[in-house]
């Protein structure tokens, strides 16, 4: 099988090449043109899988599998991990620091491609040997015999390089702890000494209707208590205020009752009275109610 695949460039391979090469170039272009880094990473992963197919078609069976396992499996997923860490929503800025830099860069890339094409076109590459003889005893065995004889020193240095890279990554991302971490006992004693919040913090949720973590619990007077929600949500300003929902519901109910009883005249004073009676901050509560309605939409 290897002998046949290596000696002739069959029509099947030609078809495969033209179809997959188109997709690979489109993937590469999408990699550099997509606004978001996640899309770029996914396009690049697609291009790399297609390159793996090309390796297989070229008789590099070991490299084809390694390409899929190492590149698309490990490296691209590492990329995605860092993209998630840095922030998916961060799109590239379109402001040009140097004027006309994009077009100049595109022009340079185009010229570079023409240069490379001209170089390859002028080389005498009319006939090719094929890998049938080299892959005779199996592709992996052939690679292994070369790695462990001719390239054994390069292989050893590769091991050193990998160890260095591992240590380097750890050194770069590790943050030294400057002070000893407090034990649980020390933290408990500190809390008692401060005397502010001895029991655990109150739980979020209102009236057993909303138990989402981003909804602040209500104090007896109806105002939301920021203490009940997570500090991260508090700092991001992602707290939903539903304290006025009950009042709005009551008001809607009264409105409906008034409509059914056909007493249009008595609606306005009725709701106005209930609003004043329940809490002093009626306009504020109404505004908050509108906000929550918008958020729920």
Smallest gap from Cβ 270 to other proteins, in A, equals 53
The pair of structure tokens assigned to 250 is 């009551």
Residue 215 found at the interface with other proteins (CB under 8 A): no
- CB nearer other proteins, residue 83 or residue 246: 83
Residue 183 found at the interface with other proteins (CB under 8 A): no
The pair of structure tokens assigned to 103 is 């077009």
- CB nearer other proteins, residue 133 or residue 209: 133
For residue 248, count other CB atoms closer than 10 A to its CB: 18
Distance CA 23, CA 16 (A): 11
Residue 148 found at the interface with other proteins (CB under 8 A): no
Residue 173 found at the interface with other proteins (CB under 8 A): yes
Residue 19 found at the interface with other proteins (CB under 8 A): no
User: Under rule CB under 8 A, which residues in 235-274 are in contact with other proteins?
Assistant: none
Give, in degrees to the nearest 5, the angle at Cα 47 between 163 and 133: 75
- Residue among 1, 100, 122, 125 that touches other proteins (CB under 8 A): 125
- Residue among 1, 99, 128, 220 that touches other proteins (CB under 8 A): 128
Distance CA 181, CA 27 (A): 48
Number of residues that bind other proteins (CB under 8 A): 82
Report the sign of the C-alpha dihedral through residues 111, 115, 121, 127, in that order. negative
Smallest gap from Cβ 237 to other proteins, in A, equals 18
- Residue among 162, 212, 257, 287 that touches other proteins (CB under 8 A): 162
| Contacts by 128-137, CB closer than 8 A, 24 or more apart | 130/6, 130/7, 130/8, 130/59, 131/2, 131/6, 131/58, 131/59, 132/2, 132/3, 132/6, 132/7, 135/2, 135/6, 135/59, 136/2
Residue 152 found at the interface with other proteins (CB under 8 A): no
289 close to 244: Cβ distance less than 8 angstroms: yes
- CB nearer other proteins, residue 165 or residue 252: 165
Distance CA 278, CA 222 (A): 9
User: Under rule CB under 8 A, which residues in 22-81 are in contact with other proteins?
Assistant: 24-25, 28-29, 31-32, 37, 40-41, 44, 47-48, 51, 54-55, 58-60, 62-63, 66-67, 70-71, 74-75, 78-79
């Amino acid at each position: 099988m290897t002998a046949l695949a290596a000696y002739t460039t069959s029509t099947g391979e030609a078809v495969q090449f033209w179809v997959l090469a188109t997709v690979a170039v489109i993937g590469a272009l999408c990699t550099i043109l997509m606004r978001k880094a996640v899309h770029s990473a996914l396009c690049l992963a697609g291009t790399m899988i297609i390159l793996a197919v090309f390796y297989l078609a070229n008789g590099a069976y070991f490299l084809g599998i390694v390409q899929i396992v190492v590149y698309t499996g490990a490296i691209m997923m590492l990329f995605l991990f860092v993209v998630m860490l840095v922030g998916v929503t961060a799109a590239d800025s379109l402001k040009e620091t140097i004027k006309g830099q994009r077009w100049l860069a595109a022009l340079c890339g185009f010229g570079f491609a023409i240069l490379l094409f001209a170089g390859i076109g002028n080389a005498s590459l009319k006939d090719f040997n094929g890998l049938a003889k080299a892959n005779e005893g199996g592709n992996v065995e052939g690679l292994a015999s070369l790695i462990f004889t001719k390239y054994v020193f390069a292989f050893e240095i590769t091991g050193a390089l990998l160890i260095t890279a591992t240590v380097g990554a750890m050194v770069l991302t590790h943050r030294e702890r400057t002070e000893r971490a407090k034990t649980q006992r020390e933290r408990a004693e500190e809390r008692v000494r401060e005397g502010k919040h001895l029991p655990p913090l109150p739980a979020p949720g209102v009236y057993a209707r909303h138990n989402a973590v981003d909804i602040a619990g209500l104090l007896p007077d109806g105002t939301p208590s920021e203490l009940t929600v997570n500090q991260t949500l508090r700092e991001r300003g992602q707290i939903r205020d539903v304290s006025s929902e009950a009042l709005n519901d009551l008001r809607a109910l009264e409105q409906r009752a008034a409509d059914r009883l056909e007493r249009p005249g008595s609606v306005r004073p009725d709701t106005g009275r209930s609003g004043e009676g329940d809490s002093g901050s009626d306009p504020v509560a109404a505004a908050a109610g509108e906000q929550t309605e918008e958020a729920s939409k």
